[in-house]
Amino acid sequence: MAIDLFRDDLTSASNAELFAAIKAFAETMPSEGWRHEYTREWQDSALKDVAAFANTFGGLLIVGVKKDKGDHECVLVGAESDFEYKTRIASSIAANISPVPGYRIYECHQPEEPKRRFCVIRVEAGQPLHLITKKGMEPTHIRNEDQTRPANAAELRHLIEREREAPELGERQAEKAHELLTYLHIGRSYKSDHPHTWQTSLSSNSQTFLKLALIPNEKLYVEMEKSHEDEFLRLVEHLYTRIHDAKAVALTSTERGTDYYQRSWYHSNLDHEERWRVTGAGAIGHVTEMERSGQWSIVDLAFYIILFTRLSLRWWESIGYRGNGRLYLRINLPGLKVHRSVEGWYACIFDPAFYRGSAFGRRDIRKDAIILGQSPRDAANAEIGFSYFADEDELIRLTTAIMNQLLRSLGHVVAWPLLEKGIRSIIFKAN
């Protein structure tokens, strides 16, 4: 498997493996972006990139790669040195950025040319404001798309406020998640099928549900205009293909306030309701019924997590937020058994990614990926960090990790590699 410069532990990579990974990365990503930058050699000017990554979303600074403005391709030239190059870089960062950001440096050389050195500087995003202290340089920098630039007054104020509020971030996010998850509830057995009044008719609150909420790290202020509502509805219908497919037989409802928009969908034939909610603070939530004939599906759970993370990424993109957040899940399954196929594999029941005419084959997880507990619990909670920059591999890891939390909390045993393999298969079927 190819090395991921953003996430893999590079300390165990050989010189040849790390060089090959840098070469492949430069070929795949010839243009610089939000989270990566190239420089031919280490100079004081590179301090700006390190500080900017730390002040925004984290990123990679790759030393030894030539990429000028007029270049269409990167050229691996290497920084010429007889000695270890990363010590020089580490000393410069420690002496000129305060507080020193979290970072790691990995070094290799061009095969057959040990003096041609390359370094990958992996910088972590931090809540503190990271300032350049070197004389003659602007102190505060941020990353903006493919450029590093000094922060303007509004951006500087935002960074200062973020630093001041950092100690309370976890508590604030947990409160926001609890508030959003409390608002999200679904019903069963609605007495009316009128398209305008069904949601206000007599019904009973469902006790078998999955709730998801994503809370951004930053304080956002989104004007909940009609264009936002239209875009959110378009994303929901595009991703949750089962919902789009059942338009003719399902009921929908819209609720809006000054700082939120909510969409409800109810399939009366299946007695199945789902709701989606976005807020002016950039939060997004979803609740869905999980019960079907006294059972619930682990595969459906995986689909819901995958679809929700994709919906969240695209919603954040539409409102211009490229940052981090925290994903919260709550599941309630009183008296329900886990659905399995005749062969014992974990299979779908509802399948929110289903649509008529689908050419996909089996949608399941192998039976030895999860060992069911003898006395499972009825409810569980889980949470995990989330980034706008998550790619498909990261979504697979995130889905596996949070499902592992939920399933273990419910009293089951998870074989991580087998579950991850099943998630990898499912995630591409949810495209």
Report the length, in residues, of the chain.
Answer: 431
Strands 113-123 vs 79-80: parallel, antiparallel or unpaired: antiparallel
pLDDT at 428: 61
pLDDT at 361: 44
Q: Structure tokens of 323?
A: 């940052």
Q: Structure tokens of 154?
A: 């509004």
CATH number for 39:
3.30.950.30
Whether residue 332 contacts residue 384, with contact meaning beta carbons closer than 8 Å, is answered with no
Closest CA to 27 of 65, 69, 79, 59: 65
pLDDT at 244: 74
Position 321 in a domain: yes
Position 163 in a domain: no
Position 388 in a domain: yes
pLDDT at 360: 44
Domain count, the chain: 2
Q: Is the domain of 214 the same as that of 66?
A: no
With a cut of 60, say whether residue 431 has pLDDT above it.
Answer: no
Q: Which residues pair with 97 in a beta bridge?
A: 132
Please identify, among 106, 122, 151, the residue that sits at the C-terminal boundary of a domain.
151
Please identify, among 88, 119, 151, the residue that sits at the C-terminal boundary of a domain.
151
Q: What is the rounded average pLDDT of the residues 86-99?
A: 96
Secondary structure letter of residue 330 according to DSSP: E
Percent pLDDT > 70 in the chain is 96
> What is the Cα 151 distance to its own chain's centre?
26
What band does 189 get if pLDDT is binned at 50, 70 and 90? very high
Position 159 in a domain: no
Q: Is the domain of 144 the same as that of 293?
A: no
**3-class secondary-structure state, position 142:** strand
Q: Is the domain of 265 the same as that of 394?
A: yes
Please identify, among 151, 181, 198, the residue that sits at the C-terminal boundary of a domain.
151
Determine the structural domain holding residue 377 and report its residue range: 168-429
Q: Is the domain of 44 the same as that of 191?
A: no
- Angle (nearest 5°) at CA 15 between 12 and 19: 110
Position 161 in a domain: no
With a cut of 60, say whether residue 430 has pLDDT above it.
Answer: no
What band does 429 get if pLDDT is binned at 50, 70 and 90? low
What band does 357 get if pLDDT is binned at 50, 70 and 90? very low
Position 162 in a domain: no
Position 157 in a domain: no
Q: Is the domain of 279 the same as that of 367?
A: yes
- Please tell me the distance from the alpha carbon of residue 124 to that of residue 171, in angstroms, as a whole number: 22
With a cut of 80, say whether residue 248 has pLDDT above it.
Answer: no
Whether residue 325 contacts residue 366, with contact meaning beta carbons closer than 8 Å, is answered with no
Provide φ and ψ at 430, rounded to 5°.
Answer: -90, 5
Position 259 in a domain: yes
Q: Is the domain of 143 the same as that of 238?
A: no
pLDDT at 242: 85
> Which string of DSSP letters, residue by residue, matches 14-31?
-HHHHHHHHHHHHHH--S
With a cut of 80, say whether residue 137 has pLDDT above it.
Answer: yes
